[in-house]
Structure 1
Amino acid sequence: MKKIIAILTIGLSLTACVNEDINTDPNSAYTVVPGSLINYAQKELSDYLNTPSVNENNFRLTMQYWQETTYVNESNYDFTNRNVSNQIYTDNYVNVLNNLGKAKDAINAYAPTATEVAGWPKNKKNQLAIIDIIQVYTYQRLVDTFGNVPYTQAANLTAFPLPAYDDGATIYVDLIARINADIANLDASATGFQSFSDGDQYYHGDIAKWTVFANSLKLKLGIGIADSNPTLAQTTALSAIAAGVMTNPADNGQFQYLAASPNYNPLYENLAASGREDYIAGKTLIEFMKTSADPRLDDYYDEVPAGGYIGQTIGEGGEFAEFSHIGEFAYTPTTPGVILNYTEVAFYIAEANARWNPAAAATAYNTAVTASIVEWGGTPAEAVTYLATHPYDAVNWKKSIGEQAWVAMFNQALTSWNFWRRLDFPVLTAPATAIINAGGKVPVRMAYPVLEQQVNSSNWKAASTAIGGDLLTTKLFWDKF
């Protein structure tokens, strides 16, 4: 951890889509402006969530959406060969959280001019709240990936060069408290000075939209602990819904990529610009969608030359030309990078109703499935037809919501992984060729980085013991069933 988090990455803004004064050098620590830091952190977060790179994000493989053609280590859950967890730490702690922390420091140190001073208190609160919302989002992802992680000591390397790990359940409680404070601090009446509105690539400083995003994230946090802390989960989720979460795609939190390198979507980077033919359709989802007559099938995948859709058995390699390829969206450089969107939120609402308001669950389920079909270019009429053969099952609601969330989260595999672990549907089977450390199961967590074992050994050992072992098979605190 010492070597990872200590790296300062406040430069690198050459890959950011931000307009700053050309007379400022955003690569210099002494002249850095919050906008460039926010921009860089947002892009790095989006890149991590959306990349299919085997070096850092293999969750499309884990959730059996995709399959590798030649090098099938990651399809068989060998993540140590490429030190994947090391890269996940770097992506999140260094590239995202460290830069956001520096942006907070810059805002707190800023002295407003005479014309800015009147509006500065509200604007300062808004800016710090937006930064904190992204930090809350990122920490939740880290907890959901590893379990216990560095948290209270992770942001102060001077005092804690080898940070201790915090309990994941305790972190969740604090993240909910933070998001509540952030929502209270957001003030849409602020006018005038907005130091990083250009740098904010998600909502461009629109406080009303950030409020909706924050409420939606609060809902996500509540649902995340529905089985481990049901009282707090229910209060958190239902209050978020009442306050106003995403209700249509215009509310989506996403990063808009550009057509040219280096700002195109990492999907395009890995599938098209690389010139490689590394990925094909996974058989598990393709067969499920074919059986279901799913209208999204031709958006998720391409037909083979002879017609039809063919996916490869999970864990096995295959010739690129013989199987369906990933759909056109992945070969389009400007496809937005999803952070949190309406479809995901609609499924959280469906799950919240299934748990705490069963009378409204079927309608919410229909809304969520329809949202996904429309998101991928389908029509409400197609959704009605699809739902006629895939109705909500109140008796086995986890199966209904779990399977449909799995299909819907095709391009949000980290989120899909959470739904699957929480609801235990769909039923996924590990390939017979999976590494021994997987214990014959699909992984339910990522192991800690090897670098942590080497550099932060005592804290790594304590964390590993606390969660029940640093294994791919160790369930997180919220994964109760």
Structure 2
Amino acid sequence: MKKIIAILAIGLSMTACVNEDANTDPNSAYSTVPGSLITYAQKELSDYVNTPSVNENNFRLTMQYWQETTYVNESNYDFTNRNVSNQIYSDNYVNVLNNLGKAKTIINAYAPTADELAAWPANKKTQLAIIDIMQVYTYQLLVDTFGNIPYTQAANLAQYPLPAYDDGATIYADLITRINADITALSSGTANSFPTFSSGDKIYGGDPVAWRTFANSLKLKLAIGIADSNPTLAQTNALAAIAAGVITSPAGNGHFPYQEASPNYNPLYENLEASGREDFVGGKTLVDYMNASNDPRRPGYFTTKGGQYIGLPIGEGGEFADYSHAGDYAYTPDTPGNILTSTEVAFYVAEANARWNTAAAPAAYTAAVTASILEWGGSAADATAYLATKPYDAVNWKKSIGEQAWVAMYNQALTGWNFWRRLDFPVLLAPPTAINNAGGKVPVRMAYPVLEQQTNSTNWKAASTAIGGDLLTTKLFWDKF
């Protein structure tokens, strides 16, 4: 962890080089203000969630959406060769959480002018709530990736240079408490009561109403995440979130707005087009599944080869030109970065109904699948025709929702990984060439960073023992079946 701390110190200095405009040269100086830190944190968060870089986010490969053409290590679950987990820690703890924490510190220390004094208490509460929502989102990502993680001590590295790990289930419960407090803090905000860092907030422009809807949607995501491990807490919060109002249309999507010019274009474009590399094509598992049902999303997801959609077998290399590769969305520099979308939320609503309101489940399932097809350019008629081949199965609803969420989360692979682990569908098989450490299975977690083993060994060992072993095959606390 000491090396991580060194990186964190660099990250802190870098925040003084980021303007509120994401277009600005990150090497130009400015006076640190919360909006600048938030811009930087949001971009780093979106970059991590959306990048296909094999150095930091291999979940498109893990979920068999894509397959590597030449270097197939990551498709075979060799993540240590590139120290992928180290980069995940750096991305999220250093670049995201550290900068959001610094923004909170600045806001709490701010002395308003006489003109600002009357409005400042409400404004301050709104700003802190928006920042906290992003922190909750990021901590959930980390728990869902590793299990137990540094949490209570991670926010104070000056006092805890080698932070202990907290129990994942306890963190989840606290994240739900935090998101409920954030929703309450935003309850008095209106669309016109923008906080002072509005230009720094690239997702919703500081709009408390939009952030409250996002927070309810994140609350639903948190609740569904523990539906099998803590069903009572999950049901109460999931149904409350839906009743309060979640994201229901693309207009409310939590998107980071990328731009056409470097360095602010989408990381997909950066790794696929700007790099000049031909590293990824469609994975045979997904392509074959979609072909079998004449899926109307195929033209959005993939290109054709000789008029057909052809996927490369998982774990094997091949020629880029011989297979379907990612569609135009991935080769467009300003494709927005997904943080939380209406399609994702629709599948949480479908799952909540399947678990706790079965009469409404078929309609919610239909709505979720339809939302995905419309998202990728299909029509309502396309959705109706497709659903005729994939009707809702009330007896085996985990299969219905699990398979369709997997397809729908094609461009949100981290989320697809969660649906798959929780619902156990689709049935994904590890390639015979997978590394021995995978135990012949598709990974259900990432191993802790090598740096943690080297520099925070005592706490790493305690965390590893607590979760049942620091292995790719160790199930998280919420992955019960």
With the shorter chain as reference, the TM-score category is over 0.9
**Deviation digits for residues 455-476 of structure 1 (CA, Å, limit 9, x no counterpart):** 0000000000000000000000
Following superposition, the deviation at residue 27 of structure 1 comes to 4.1
Give the aligned partner of residue 343 of structure 1: 343
Separation in 2, partners of 1:477, 1:15? 39
Following superposition, the deviation at residue 114 of structure 1 comes to 1.1
Using structure 1 for the length normalisation, give the TM-score: 0.96
Q: Is the 8 A contact 2:194 2:206 kept in 1?
A: no
**Deviation digits for residues 96-133 of structure 1 (CA, Å, limit 9, x no counterpart):** 00000000001011111111110000000000000000
Give the aligned partner of residue 372 of structure 1: 372
Separation in 1, partners of 2:19, 2:476? 37
Give the aligned partner of residue 253 of structure 2: 252
RMSD of aligned Cα (Å) = 1.6
Give 2:264's aligned amino acid.
Answer: N
Separation in 2, partners of 1:190, 1:166? 37
Separation in 1, partners of 2:44, 2:204? 16
Give the aligned partner of residue 303 of structure 2: 302
Distance 1:124 1:14, change over 3 A: closer
Matched, 1:274 2:275: yes
1:117-128 mapped onto 2 (5 Å cutoff): 117-128=117-128
Give the aligned partner of residue 76 of structure 2: 76
Separation in 2, partners of 1:190, 1:293? 42
Q: Is the 8 A contact 1:16 1:263 kept in 2?
A: no
Distance 1:16 1:375, change over 3 A: farther
Following superposition, the deviation at residue 11 of structure 1 comes to 4.8
Give 2:334's aligned amino acid.
Answer: T
Following superposition, the deviation at residue 247 of structure 1 comes to 1.2
Q: Is the 8 A contact 2:17 2:29 kept in 1?
A: no
1:173-252 mapped onto 2 (5 Å cutoff): 173-186=173-186, 187-189=188-190, 194-252=195-253
Give the aligned partner of residue 172 of structure 1: 172
Separation in 1, partners of 2:386, 2:323? 25
**Deviation digits for residues 272-325 of structure 1 (CA, Å, limit 9, x no counterpart):** 000011111100000000001100011100001x22011110000000111111
Give the aligned partner of residue 50 of structure 2: 50
SS in 2 for 1:338: strand
Give 1:241's aligned amino acid.
Answer: I
**Deviation digits for residues 426-472 of structure 1 (CA, Å, limit 9, x no counterpart):** 00000000000000000000000000000000000000000000000
Distance 1:174 1:327, change over 3 A: same
Following superposition, the deviation at residue 26 of structure 1 comes to 7.6
Give the aligned partner of residue 92 of structure 1: 92
Unaligned runs of 5+ in 1: none
Distance 1:336 1:192, change over 3 A: closer
Separation in 2, partners of 1:173, 1:370? 32
Q: Is the 8 A contact 1:13 1:26 kept in 2?
A: no
Separation in 1, partners of 2:140, 2:449? 18
Separation in 2, partners of 1:167, 1:320? 43
Task: Flag as ranges the 4+ runs of structure 1 deviating above 6 A.
Answer: 190-193
Q: Is the 8 A contact 1:249 1:341 kept in 2?
A: yes
Separation in 1, partners of 2:476, 2:242? 26
1:282-431 mapped onto 2 (5 Å cutoff): 282-304=283-305, 306-431=306-431
Separation in 2, partners of 1:108, 1:272? 43
Separation in 2, partners of 1:243, 1:151? 28
**Deviation digits for residues 170-209 of structure 1 (CA, Å, limit 9, x no counterpart):** 0000000000000001131496673210000000011100
Using structure 2 for the length normalisation, give the TM-score: 0.96
Matched, 1:447 2:452: no
SS in 2 for 1:116: coil
Give 2:298's aligned amino acid.
Answer: L
Give the aligned partner of residue 66 of structure 1: 66
Give the aligned partner of residue 20 of structure 2: 18
Q: Is the 8 A contact 2:216 2:246 kept in 1?
A: yes
Separation in 2, partners of 1:159, 1:94? 16
SS in 2 for 1:280: strand
Matched, 1:113 2:82: no
Separation in 2, partners of 1:189, 1:112? 21
SS in 2 for 1:339: strand
Separation in 1, partners of 2:227, 2:132? 23
Q: Is the 8 A contact 1:372 1:408 kept in 2?
A: yes
Separation in 2, partners of 1:297, 1:191? 40
Separation in 2, partners of 1:316, 1:17? 43
Distance 1:336 1:190, change over 3 A: closer
Give 2:240's aligned amino acid.
Answer: S
**Deviation digits for residues 242-283 of structure 1 (CA, Å, limit 9, x no counterpart):** 111011111100101000000000000000000011111100
Separation in 2, partners of 1:423, 1:291? 22
Unaligned runs of 5+ in 2: none
Q: Is the 8 A contact 2:18 2:28 kept in 1?
A: no
Matched, 1:480 2:480: yes
Distance 1:178 1:317, change over 3 A: same
**Deviation digits for residues 229-254 of structure 1 (CA, Å, limit 9, x no counterpart):** 00000001000001110111111001
Greater alpha carbon shift after TM alignment, 372-381 vs 459-468: 372-381
Give 1:289's aligned amino acid.
Answer: M
Separation in 2, partners of 1:421, 1:449? 21
Give 1:297's aligned amino acid.
Answer: R
Q: Is the 8 A contact 1:116 1:193 kept in 2?
A: no
Separation in 1, partners of 2:162, 2:147? 18
Distance 1:301 1:16, change over 3 A: farther
